[in-house]
Amino acid sequence: RRNADKHGMRCSSLAGTGRVGLTTGLTDTGKEKVYLDFFTTAVNAAKVLGAQNLVSFVGKRLDTIPWETQYEQIISGLRKAGDIAGEAGVYLTLEPLNRISHSDMTVLTSQEGFKILRDVDHPHVKLDFDIFHLQQSEGNLTRNLREGMKDGLIQYVEVGDVPGRFEPGTGEINYPHIFAELRRLGYDGFIGMEHFTQTSFPSAFAQVKRLAGIE
């Protein structure tokens, strides 16, 4: 934190649930305490580092437990996690993954995420709109951005292009339009560059700035 302050940098996000969120999460009955304990540790780290967003998952969808039970556990557990986040002034940002490489995960589209967030109804539980994942799972990026922003559900946006998860401008996503739409919608949060690069990090960073119209 001291080094970040010295260089005028801020930590935008941390992993909120780690491997727990990618495995048992909240869908496996009896594992809520493990989930919340891990999340509490992440919140404490966020307070030290000054991070605002804790990117989180809620577990695999299980064939051995009725979906209604899993869903109730997700809603209940996220409300409790939201209370933990709220006390620290940070956010649990639920990240939908993609159905191609993460087909066993619970939340795979922004629409699934929006439904969960509306049912959780907690001011510190929001969505991480990861454009790389959502382009593959459902597309309709502009429509879903508009809906999520209008309803106050999106807290954090991450970028990466399809295919390959390289920097914006290397694939099929119209990032100049996406950045213009985010600006029009009044998004003023961080943009997470969660991707590989075909060149170098400084070059990729410069390219994202150009596409966003800030250079």
Active site residues: 95, 194
Please say whether the beta carbons of 144 and 118 come within 8 A: no
Q: What is the CA radius of gyration of the chain?
A: 17
User: Within 13 Å, how many C-alpha atoms sit on residue 110's CB side?
Assistant: 29
| Sign of the alpha-carbon dihedral angle for 126, 95, 113, 27 | negative
Closest CA to 125 of 172, 201, 57, 68: 57
The span from the CA of 193 to the CA of 13, in Å, is 11
The span from the CA of 210 to the CA of 215, in Å, is 5
